[in-house]
Amino acid sequence: MTDFPADFLRHLKSAERVVVLTGAGVSQESGLRTFRDDPIGLWAQYKPEELATPEAFAANPKLVWDWYAWRREAAQNARPNAGHYALVELEKRVPQFTLVTQNVDGFHRAAGSQNVLELHGNIRRVRCSVCGAFADAWTDDGANVPTCLQCGGLLRPDVIWFGESLPQAELQSAVEAARICHVFFSIGTSVVVQPAASLARAAQKEGAVLVEINAETTPLTQTADFAFRGKSGEILPRLIEALTLPSR
Tell me which residues touch ligand NAD (CB under 6 A).
Answer: 23-25, 27-29, 32, 34-36, 102-105, 120, 188-190, 192-193, 214-216, 218, 231-233
Identify what 148 binds: Zn ion, ligand NAD, none; CB under 5 to 8 Å per kind: Zn ion
- Shortest distance (Å) from residue 125 CB to Zn ion: 14
- 182 included as an active-site residue: no
Identify what 73 binds: Zn ion, ligand NAD, none; CB under 5 to 8 Å per kind: none
Catalytic hit among 11, 84, 120, 182: 120
Q: Distances from the Cα of 105 to the Cαs of 15, 46, 110, in angstroms?
A: 29, 20, 9
Binding flag, residue 150, Zn ion (CB under 5 A): yes
- Shortest distance (Å) from residue 243 CB to ligand NAD: 19
Nearer to ligand NAD, 7 or 37 (CB): 37
Residues near Zn ion (CB under 5 A), total: 8
Nearer to Zn ion, 20 or 148 (CB): 148
Cα dihedral across residues 150, 151, 152, 156: positive or negative: negative
Binding flag, residue 131, Zn ion (CB under 5 A): yes
Nearer to Zn ion, 131 or 192 (CB): 131
- Shortest distance (Å) from residue 140 CB to Zn ion: 17
Per CB under 5 A, which region of 25-33, 64-72, 146-154, 202-210 contacts Zn ion? 146-154
Identify what 105 binds: ligand NAD, Zn ion, none; CB under 5 to 8 Å per kind: ligand NAD
CB 125 within 8 A of CB 157: yes
- Shortest distance (Å) from residue 107 CB to ligand NAD: 7
Residues marked as catalytic: 120
Contact footprint for Zn ion (CB under 5 A): 128, 130-131, 133, 148, 150-151, 153
